[in-house]
A and B are shown apart, each in its own frame.
Chain A
Amino acid sequence: MSSQKKTRGITKKQFVKVITRGNLSADQAIGKMVNELQLYERKYGMRSEVFYALIAGTPAEDQPDFLNWAICYRSYFRALQSKFPFKELSRYAV
């Protein structure tokens, strides 16, 4: 049993207030996702587009990294599409 003292949390009011303030821009959020995608790309020596075409949706995806990579890739596209809702992007949509 842990005898450590619990850290003080935030209230839901504080939580909503921080989020409503909107400190994180869409660019920053997209930048974080790009960094994560690049980590996977370096680790596996494969572009995210190639990974998504070859591995996502197959039984090979059943590895934590691949599952996370696929979710990150879709999230990146979703964020990008909401920032640049151009028709040109739709052909890359997943």
Chain B
Amino acid sequence: MPFEGRQRGALLDRCWSIYLSLTGAFNVPENFHVEFPVVVESALVSGALHVTVPVGGNITLSLREEYAFDRQRLTVNRYSYNLIDAAGNNLLRADDLPFHRTDYRRRLLTHPPHHIHDQRSRVVSFGGDVHRFIADAKTLLSTR
């Protein structure tokens, strides 16, 4: 396995915090509670977490994070967070690809390379925090 000992513990803590955020924000299906640990087991093998969860109204939240370790500290090397409708359209998506320096108003991103593509595909600033993204997704869904 790529992760052992403390690294494994750090990865489990990260995944658990995501689980708490998701279950706190959304009424997830019953089977999510069974499937989530399996997804985390897979992350321990691959070094990447991929969670998809229906969050109501035919909308799916997809979170993908790729992990690395800086000594014993867990870092998210690359991520892709997506809120997707039934037709496959991205309502909200965030990533840390380093190809955007400014938002749609040509202002510098506050935390580059982190950014969000909003419902109109406009680039806006984002801090890179998955919990913030989940909260934003919840807010967006509540206004639909």
Contact = CB atoms under 8 A, between A and B. Distances in A.
A15 B37 contact: yes
Given A6-B27, A26-B45, A64-B93, A71 B37 contact: no
Interface string B12-31: 10001001000100011110
Contact of A10 (B33, B78, B82): B33
B94 to A, nearest CB: 10
Which secondary structure dominates chain B's binding surface?
mixed
B46 interface: yes
A45 interface: no
A42 to B, nearest CB: 16
B87 interface: no
B124 interface: no
Interface of B: 1-2, 12, 16, 19, 23, 27-30, 32-33, 36-38, 40-42, 44-48, 50, 56, 64, 66, 78, 80, 82, 90, 93, 95, 97, 99-100, 142
